[in-house]
Structure 1
Amino acid sequence: MDEHKLDLAQLRAEIPLAGFLEKLGHVPIRRSGGELFYLSMLRDNDTAPSFCVNEKMDLWYDHGLAKGGSIIDLALLLWPELGFRQSMERILEVSGNPVLETKSAGGRQTEMSLKFPSYQILEDRPIGTNHSISAYLRSRGILSQADPFIRELYYSVKTATGEQRKMFAAGWQNEAGGWEVRNEHFKGCLGKKSMSAIPGSPDQLTVFEGMMDFLSWRLEHPGNESSILILNSVAFLAPAIQRAARYRSVSVFFDHDPSGRKATAAFLAQVSYANDRSGIYEGHNDYNEKIQHQLGDARQQRSSDAPCEKIKKR
């Protein structure tokens, strides 16, 4: 590295995530399709490997937290008590690299700069031009509801080797201008993570954890004109509760997993007139799981109703 500054892009390129986690004592439970799965080191209640590292892109994603990113993002979550500069220095210490520094009149100074973003948005298009994206949304049962809420997003990601890998996914923008991206193999966020809002009635608010759940609800409630708030992560529960106070009627559709139930309880405790509507998908983890289950049942029924060919006797 340059002796005068610590370049964040270079830090990412020189310290692979898997090796960094190994030095911290975390080993993958299983490997699948170029991805490593760990018990989450960011949560105490993880009993199944839900923390994923994509070795080619050198990116991580924690399915329980609905958060992901680079080694830099991980360090900030691993050591929240440290500042940004100290967290980056801790990465170097763990990896066996010395902390680079320069001297100035004021004493020790470490400059950190990210010269190039780790991703670049190339284009976004309306749904319908990319077969793979449409097939993914169809498999989730919400293709008919995707437009105009979801776009086809084409982007490139800088890998650990410095290569710009071109990718595409279903995506939607959040309030901070970041893109939430989903495809069959990846779930994450490009840019700053935040909530997504869809304006509607000034008196009614309907709150979801994710976009797929909102589109599943819209499939069954096409005429509802409620304002919509999509958390994109339960980490935004507090600001969602603050926003809900502006409305007279609030409906909540959170997951049936431990984090979703905890979020529902907190929401109802602070917004006394809010209603938990998750009973609609009782027996399923979330609204979209219910829709996918119904889709599977419909396919099975069509298959069983198909005429059978007559067997010719010899």
Structure 2
Amino acid sequence: MNLDQIKTISIHEYLAKKGFHPQRRNEVRGIYISPIRKDNNASFSVDFQKNLWYDHGMGKGGSIIDLVSEMENCSISDAIKKLESDSFSFHRESAIYNEKQEHPEQLFTILKVKKLGNFALIDYLNERCIDIDIAEKHCCEVYYSINNKRYFAIGFANNSPNSYELRNKYFKSCIGKKDFTHINNGAKRTVLFEGFMDYLSFLSMQENRHLSTDAIILNSTANSKRALDLLCKYDEIHSYLDNDQAGNKCSLFVQSYYPDSFVDCRKEYSNFKDLNEFLCWKNNEEKLGYLR
């Protein structure tokens, strides 16, 4: 990677991977507890559009390179080297997704499915603040190959036979047929999510860690049309989609078909990208409160 490419690494995503989430945010800017000094009041600003940061307490700011230099207490050249060596973790997910689109599905082969327990996957779920007992109940561990190279990931079954949504720290895709997931508890109300991490986040936020309604996890907003026939059976559809363009479009689409039953719950986490980001922030706030 050259210098310009390194500077395009998202500061927002980098901070999230390090466990820092905005205390307040809008579409343009996020305000954080400073990741580079002791800070009881959020005074660290990130401009999402310009991908620049500024610490108002220090009177200092700059690019992702300057930030890593400050956070890791290293030189600019060492910060560049760290970002170069870690860059796959920021770009691998989209790169492998594109690879999946370009190659026939038969190149993806399931080798083994087992109970979730791999330490690397558990660590990743802990980073995302997901309750491990909930993850073990709803997910599995999938070992698979792509072009004869072996991998493993958290697996979340969708409604198609032998098909799983896959997720690990560096990878997001699907093996088998892309489909939505229906959790059927025989209820007349359902909760609607885009991805299974948000579904697990929702359960992790419940006091009894139990789902009293049905749930529909789209696994992609592209599946919203396919889910319409199922959604029509519910008296209430409580939607927890993402706060982005795709989430807005999907919300309007479902609401246009079921205006009387659709409830947009995104106001509960309107300052965050999705429900999982809100959960991570909430947990971080509780830890800070405990330390105080």
TM-score (norm 2): 0.63
Task: State the partner residue of 1:69.
Answer: 100
1:173 aligns with 2:157: yes
Task: State the partner residue of 2:220.
Answer: 233
Q: Do the aligned partners of 2:97 and 2:172 also contact (CA within 8 Å) in 1?
A: yes
Q: Do the aligned partners of 1:53 and 1:61 also contact (CA within 8 Å) in 2?
A: no
Once the two structures are superposed, what CA deviation does each residue of 1:85-125 show, in whole Å capped at 9, x if it has no partner? xxxxxxxxxxxxxxxxxxxxxxxxxxxxx9xx212212122
The secondary structure found in structure 1 opposite 2:225 is helix
Matches within 5 A, 1:75-224: 117-128=106-117, 130-144=118-132, 145-158=134-147, 164-177=148-161, 178-221=163-206, 222-224=209-211
Task: State the partner residue of 1:275.
Answer: 263
**Post-superposition offset of 1:206:** 1.2
**Post-superposition offset of 1:60:** 3.9
Q: Structure 2: where are the runs of 5+ without partners?
A: 8-48, 51-89
Distance in 1 (CA, whole Å) between partners of 2:131 and 2:110 is 23
Instruction: Tell me which amino acid in the other structure corresponds to 2:271.
Output: G
| Aligned CA distance change for structure 1 residues 186 and 179 (closer, same or farther; 3 Å) | same
Once the two structures are superposed, what CA deviation does each residue of 1:258-310 show, in whole Å capped at 9, x if it has no partner? 110111111112101211111221211111110111223334445x45xxxxx
Distance in 1 (CA, whole Å) between partners of 2:182 and 2:5 is 37
| Aligned CA distance change for structure 1 residues 232 and 53 (closer, same or farther; 3 Å) | same
Distance in 1 (CA, whole Å) between partners of 2:91 and 2:127 is 24
Q: Do the aligned partners of 2:131 and 2:204 also contact (CA within 8 Å) in 1?
A: no
Query: Which has a greater percent of helix?
Result: 2
**Post-superposition offset of 1:31:** 6.9
| Aligned CA distance change for structure 1 residues 233 and 200 (closer, same or farther; 3 Å) | same
Task: State the partner residue of 2:253.
Answer: 266
Structure exhibiting the larger radius of gyration computed from Cα positions: 1
* RMSD (Å), alpha carbons: 2.8
Once the two structures are superposed, what CA deviation does each residue of 1:109-166 show, in whole Å capped at 9, x if it has no partner? xxxxx9xx212212122222x10000001111113321221111111211xxxxx211
Q: Do the aligned partners of 1:241 and 1:271 also contact (CA within 8 Å) in 2?
A: no
Q: Do the aligned partners of 2:189 and 2:236 also contact (CA within 8 Å) in 1?
A: yes
Q: Do the aligned partners of 2:96 and 2:171 also contact (CA within 8 Å) in 1?
A: no
**Post-superposition offset of 1:205:** 1.4
**Post-superposition offset of 1:232:** 0.3
Q: Do the aligned partners of 1:206 and 1:228 also contact (CA within 8 Å) in 2?
A: yes
Task: State the partner residue of 2:276.
Answer: 288
The secondary structure found in structure 2 opposite 1:268 is helix
Identity in percent: 25
Q: Structure 1: where are the runs of 5+ without partners?
A: 1-28, 33-46, 63-67, 74-113, 159-163, 306-314
Distance in 2 (CA, whole Å) between partners of 1:285 and 1:240 is 23
The secondary structure found in structure 2 opposite 1:250 is strand
Distance in 1 (CA, whole Å) between partners of 2:255 and 2:204 is 25
Distance in 1 (CA, whole Å) between partners of 2:94 and 2:168 is 17
The secondary structure found in structure 2 opposite 1:259 is helix
Once the two structures are superposed, what CA deviation does each residue of 1:153-195 show, in whole Å capped at 9, x if it has no partner? 111211xxxxx21111111111123211100011111121110
1:298 aligns with 2:271: no
Distance in 1 (CA, whole Å) between partners of 2:268 and 2:94 is 39
Once the two structures are superposed, what CA deviation does each residue of 1:52-103 show, in whole Å capped at 9, x if it has no partner? 975xx996426xxxxx714247xxxxxxxxxxxxxxxxxxxxxxxxxxxxxx
